[in-house]
């Protein structure tokens, strides 16, 4: 209201200012009086409209619209126009009154719906700029699996056989370096881990035989033959020990048990024949000598053994021919060579 009073005072000064006192009270013609009255009335009307528009235009937006909670990220909203200074408004009103032009249209504030739409669009753009992980419902409870080992990757287990092989190799190395006690302990450890470790058993039996511990060697060989009947080497060595103990029947039984696995072994066949010959079982010994000589025809010792059994069974001609072949090979020891030549003289016609 102070602004209106100021503008009215300004208009009164302009209408009456600058005139002498005597002219101020001078009578004005009726026509001019009406014209001046119309101008004043029109000016006042324009002034009232301008002031009312300025007050509406200058009012802050938040007074007319409900309070809106800003989004987490500040979004700049259009700020209200800057209020015009009182002097500038007065100048515009004076110019409009003098020119008698209609007042300029005052920019109306955006409707409430448009402000709300802009606000929602800003919040949406901010929400899209922030990455949000999708929320998934919790899985259904399951029965926990059986406890597993800590390590995910399965650890390769060492079998007893592999450990026994390792012990055997270490024992061989210790024996080569002269550590006999350590080597023997290694052989025994390998056999405890794997009774079928034939290398450790063979090495231990050999050491026992060298040191005249025949009983311990025989025990180890019997275990080896029982575990593996196909091991013809253990069977031959065990039979030899049994013969030394004058247990010929047991030695023949040992050889006979492994005989099916020694059909292609000439020395096994010849050893079987020699044991039968030693028991005066010459007729049974001949086939085994012949089987051995088929695999190794030029073995003078086996020819001599075959000749002895042939002569014992009254097959003199066959015996003479076999003795001749054995003597021609010159593969016998001197005393055995002399024995063969003596038999040839006896069998000569």
Domains located in the chain, CATH noted: 1-18+29-64+85-102 (no CATH), 263-349 (1.25.40.10)
CA distances, 205 to each of 247, 262, 323 (Å): 20, 22, 37
- Cβ proximity of 305 and 289 under 8 Å: yes
Tokens of residue 248, six digits: 């010929």
Share of the chain above pLDDT 90, in %: 52
**Residue carrying structure tokens 């024995």:** 339
- Residues with Cβ within 8 Å of 186's Cβ and at least 6 positions away in sequence, in order, are 167, 168, 170, 171, 174, 200
pLDDT digits (tens, 9 = 90+) for 81-117: 444 444 454 455 455 545 444 444 444 544 555 544 5
Going by C-alpha positions, the residue among 239, 245, 298 that lies closest to residue 274 is 239
Q: Would you write out the chain's pLDDT as a tens digit for each of its 349 residues?
A: 454 555 555 555 555 444 334 343 344 444 455 555 565 656 666 665 655 555 554 444 444 444 444 544 544 444 444 444 444 544 554 555 454 444 444 445 445 555 445 444 443 443 343 343 343 444 544 545 555 554 555 567 889 889 999 999 999 999 999 999 999 999 999 999 999 899 999 999 999 999 999 999 999 999 999 999 999 999 999 999 999 999 999 999 999 999 999 999 999 999 999 999 999 999 999 999 999 999 999 999 999 999 999 999 999 999 999 999 999 998 999 999 999 999 999 998 7
Going by C-alpha positions, the residue among 64, 72, 53, 60 that lies closest to residue 116 is 64
**Residue carrying structure tokens 């030695």:** 251
Per DSSP, 264 falls in state T
Length of the chain: 349
Give dist(CA 234, CA 43) in Å, integer. 140
Going by C-alpha positions, the residue among 113, 124, 116, 130 that lies closest to residue 77 is 116
pTM reported for the whole predicted model: 0.54
């Amino acid at each position: 209201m102070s602004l209106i009073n100021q503008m009215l005072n300004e208009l009164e000064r302009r209408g009456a200012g600058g005139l002498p006192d005597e002219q101020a009270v001078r009578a004005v013609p009726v026509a001019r009086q009406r014209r001046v009255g119309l101008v004043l009335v029109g000016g006042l009307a324009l002034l009232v409209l301008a002031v009312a528009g300025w007050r509406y235009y200058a009012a802050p937006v938040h007074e007319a619209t409900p309070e809106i909670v800003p989004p987490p990220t500040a979004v700049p909203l259009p700020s209200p126009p800057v209020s015009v200074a009182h002097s500038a408004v007065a100048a515009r009103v004076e110019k409009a009154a003098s020119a008698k032009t209609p007042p300029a249209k005052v920019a109306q504030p955006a409707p409430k719906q448009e402000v709300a739409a802009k606000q929602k669009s800003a919040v949406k753009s901010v929400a899209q700029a922030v990455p949000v992980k999708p929320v998934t419902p919790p899985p259904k409870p399951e029965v926990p699996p059986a406890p597993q080992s800590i390590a995910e990757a399965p650890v390769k287990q060492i079998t007893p056989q592999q450990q026994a092989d390792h012990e055997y190799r270490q024992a061989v190395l210790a024996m080569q370096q002269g550590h006999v006690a350590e080597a023997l302990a290694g052989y025994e450890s390998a056999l405890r881990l794997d009774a079928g470790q034939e290398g450790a058993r063979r090495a231990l039996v050999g050491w026992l035989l060298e040191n005249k511990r025949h009983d311990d060697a025989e025990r180890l060989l019997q275990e080896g033959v029982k575990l593996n009947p196909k091991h013809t080497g253990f069977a031959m060595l065990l039979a030899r020990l049994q013969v030394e103990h004058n247990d010929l029947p047991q030695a023949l039984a040992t050889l006979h048990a492994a005989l099916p696995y020694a059909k292609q072994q000439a020395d096994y066949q010849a050893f079987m024949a020699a044991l039968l010959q030693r028991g005066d079982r010459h007729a049974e010994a001949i086939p085994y000598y012949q089987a051995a000589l088929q695999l190794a025809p030029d073995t003078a010792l086996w020819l001599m053994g075959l000749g002895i059994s042939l002569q014992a069974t009254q097959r003199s001609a066959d015996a003479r021919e076999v003795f001749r072949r054995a003597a021609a090979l010159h593969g016998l020891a001197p005393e055995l060579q002399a024995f063969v030549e003596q038999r040839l003289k006896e069998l000569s016609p």
